[in-house]
Chains A and B, each alone.
Chain A
Amino acid sequence: MQIRPILAALRRHRLATLLIAMEVALACAVLCNACFLVAQRWKLIQTQSGVDENSLAVLTVNGFEPTQAADVNARMLAGLRAIPGMQAVTLISQVPFGPQAGAAGISRDADSFKNTIGIVDFVLAEPGTFQVLGLKLVEGRMPQADDYRPATNFAPMDAQVLVSRALAEHAWPGESPIGKEFWCDKLHFRVMGVVDHFARAHPREWGAQAAEWTVFTPTLPGGSLAGTYLLRASPADLPRVLRTARDAVAKIAPDVVLDQENSQTITDLRTDYFKSDRIMIDLLIGVIVTMLGVTALGIVGLASFWVQQRRRQIGVRRALGATRGDILRYFQTENFLIVTGGILLGMLLAFALNLALMTHYELPRLPLYYLPIGALVLWGLGQLAVLGPALRAAAVPPVVATRSV
């Protein structure tokens, strides 16, 4: 295929060529960045909680004085455990995707704010909660009965704790975290084990790196550990069990207030938590599809016009011996050249757009591999869009050359 005559023809249609190239360039820039945004949101939605989400629910009550905590706990635990189908009920301070109970900065030194590790979520939990959650131990040991201590402040003193693998790798890279110590102001902790995954309450607000900086803190009930109950039932029973439990609160403890919003299955909490991301993904995909459709429409429109305008020339070429394939390939190559020009410009635009997004929305840099993917999509789209007009061009009979109109 000779490119020179195509370029010569395009020079006569600079304006239309430029328009298509520009549309392709804009589409390329938006496509790359929109796909990148979708990928980012998708990664967020996939955040691993590390717990048996399908079997777990949480029930939260409040509106009681700290002095009543022991009494409320005792009544609630007894009442909830009596519900048929309930496998276990334990006290916990927070669950993944629920309200955050305690986040605090920790450091490797006793001397407070030097040598800090970062801000982590402390999850206080009474005996048995580790098993109920279904956390997976990968190193060290499980909490034993005498590891559980009362929480006088927001967490117990000198507690032996388990940390998530993400936190261990961040705090002590390349070392075994077992036996390591850390401090939170005056509170001292020692690591006894590492769990595979354990998401903090609001993982997306802390960014991908810190989404699992969680400390599982064995704690005796009372004090700050009251009012939030972890329920376990078989996945099939769970919705019914939770419904019964929510209704039962009014009878078990009429003086406390059930927190409707935060008494849900973990699956529902997760869905709610990531709802805005899901909507954003749907929206972005919608925009991508419509935008590609509009771009294809533009290509079809202009290509049809060209074909109609060049009917005579096509007829002459056919009369001089060009095959249908030659004509088809001519229009396909022409489209390929225009789209390539658009893509080159579009890659620059994509980077400019990414830079703008990075400054305004704290997005990471666009990975380079998005560019060739975007290019492939647009080449494909261009070829698909031009196929119809090109086939119509190839169908022009040579006899047209002899007609004057």
Chain B
Amino acid sequence: MFAYYLDLALRSLRRNKVLTTLMVLALALGIGATITTLTVLRLLSGDPLPQKSAQLFYPQLDPNEKDGYIAGQTEPAPTMTYVDAMNLLHAHRATRQVAMALSQAKVLPQQGGDHPFFSDAVMTTADFFAMFDAPFQYGNGWAAADDDSGAQLVVIAGFLNDKLFGGANSVGKTIRLNDRDFRIVGVLKPWAPQPRFYAQDLGGRSYGDGDAVFLPLRTARAVDMGPQDTECYAAVTDIKHLETAPCMWLGVWVELVDDAAVAGYKSFLSSYAQQQIAQGRFQRPETALLDLMGWLRDQQVVPDDVRLQAGLAFGFLLICVVNTVGLLLAKCLRRSQEIGVRRALGATRREIFTQFMVEAAIVGMAGGVLGLLFAELGLLGIRHQPAEYASLAHLDLGMFLFTFVVALGASLIAGILPAWRACVLAPAPQLKAA
């Protein structure tokens, strides 16, 4: 029976080629636009560490002045002072804890003739690699003891290793950063979580390539590497010594394995804030402990333009669907006599309904295939945009299948009304008119 409906539907679609083409084209445009923007949106709002993100938390405190504070409404500061970060780290209340800031390191290639260049650097503490599952190609990270001793150690990214050492095992070799020698202890495999969750609010970009060098915080500060972003909450006398200045420039992450640990850490944070208030260092008791995805939402990491484009595409798809409803309706009402004949010859309402839904589904599938083509074109266009995330815009299997779900869904919704109108037509008047 289904094969018969398919045959009928194809005959009907062939009968009016222009109308069918236009209908498929309009639907395909709407689907193409929607899939393109959804792919980008999904890419940008994705989970950077799916296997780990539920256990990673971002604690926040608020050392700002009392002025402008409204209890329950004012959010705590997005970054931390050195003093607070170190206090949290040394308290060891979580399974793992790291502090970090972003910087730029001037790299001088050892081979003669090459010019120095700047690379993205992360100044951080020993737990960074284990906590964020950063995979090592050679060697490994540094030990907690190296954090305190300020040893001249560095972990470099694979792409920097390729550039400087031709991809060979460079562990134990030296690299010249900011005119000083550092010993390489580890080389990372390609590692660039998207979004760059750990760079949020530290002055870095939100997407794109991974960082090139990772060095112990104290070591980096000893060679005068400064953070990309610093926010001060009181008059600063000596901006050089950020460790003691009333300035916030560090992000802290903690790893907490279960709900009990999270609850425990929350109460630790608020008691810490109370203790600092008692000592006169803090004026505000507000604290926060968002998980990784919560922090990304809080930071509104997805650019406004991308969300706007997705909204626009959905609006456009809606118009296309309404349009398809209208055209399918016109098409099927034009065939009232044919329906009358079929009904008179014994077709049930259900059969008529199915027949027209099959016709709508064919339009939908054709729209889906063409829409996929449009989506690929759209993504090609996006890859040529200057955005940080441009090179990542690809259609994956999930979105590929989703395209057909959208196409079929849209066309079936569009088909319901015309098919229903067709099946409730009384056969007698149609036969008489003929």
Contact = CB atoms under 8 A, between A and B. Distances in A.
Question: Do A and B interact with each other, yes or no?
Answer: yes
Interface of A: 15-16, 19-20, 22-23, 26-27, 29-30, 34, 37, 62-63, 185, 250, 254-259, 272, 275-276, 279-280, 283-284, 287, 290-291, 294-295, 297-298, 301-302, 304-305, 308-309, 357, 360-361, 405
B326 A298 contact: yes
Contacts of A16: 326, 329-330
10 contacts: A19-B322, A19-B326, A23-B326, A26-B319, A185-B235, A257-B117, A275-B385, A276-B386, A283-B309, A297-B26
B118 A287 contact: no
Contacts of B334: 305, 308-309
Given A26-B315, A34-B312, A294 B320 contact: yes
B316 A287 contact: yes
Interface stretch (B150-158, B160-168, B283-291, B300-308): B300-308
B17 interface: no
B337 to A, nearest CB: 10
Contact of A279 (B312, B316, B385, B434): B385
Contact of B118 (A15, A26, A37, A62): A62
Dominant secondary structure of chain B at its interface with chain A: helix
A185 B235 CA distance: 8
B33 interface: yes
A15 B22 contact: no
Given A63-B118, A272-B386, A283-B309, A294 B319 contact: yes
A23 B30 CA distance: 14
Nearest to A113: B67
B312 A257 contact: no
Chain A CB within 10 Å, residue with most, of B26, B117, B304, B387:
B26
Contact of B319 (A30, A257, A258, A305): A30
B329 A15 contact: yes
Interface of B: 19, 22, 26, 29-30, 33, 106, 115-118, 235, 304-305, 307-309, 312, 315-316, 318-320, 322-323, 325-327, 329-331, 333-334, 385-387, 417, 421, 434
Nearest to A279: B385
Contact of A301 (B19, B307, B320): B19
B330 A30 contact: no
B19 to A, nearest CB: 6
Query: Which residue of B19, B315, B386 has the most chain A CB atoms within 10 A of its CB atom?
Result: B315
Given A20-B326, A26-B315, 19 more contacts: A15-B417, A22-B322, A30-B315, A30-B319, A257-B106, A259-B118, A283-B309, A284-B312, A287-B316, A291-B316, A295-B319, A297-B26, A298-B323, A301-B326, A305-B330, A305-B333, A305-B334, A308-B334, A361-B308
For the complex of A and B, 5 pairs with smallest distance between CB atoms: A305-B330, A298-B323, A19-B326, A63-B106, A301-B327
A295 B316 contact: no
A23 B321 CA distance: 9
Contacts of A29: 315
Contacts of A302: 326-327, 329-330
B326 A287 contact: no
A404 B290 CA distance: 76
A405 B22 CA distance: 29
A309 B307 contact: no
Given A30-B316, A305-B330, A276 B26 contact: no
Nearest to A297: B22
Contacts of A62: 118
A227 to B, nearest CB: 13
Nearest to A16: B329
B323 to A, nearest CB: 4
Nearest to B378: A283
A257 B326 contact: no
B29 A290 contact: yes
B316 A276 contact: no
B195 to A, nearest CB: 17
Contacts of A256: 116
A298 B116 CA distance: 62
Nearest to B115: A250
Contacts of A23: 319, 322-323, 326
Given A290-B316, A308-B334, A361 B304 contact: yes
A111 to B, nearest CB: 13
B307 A360 contact: yes
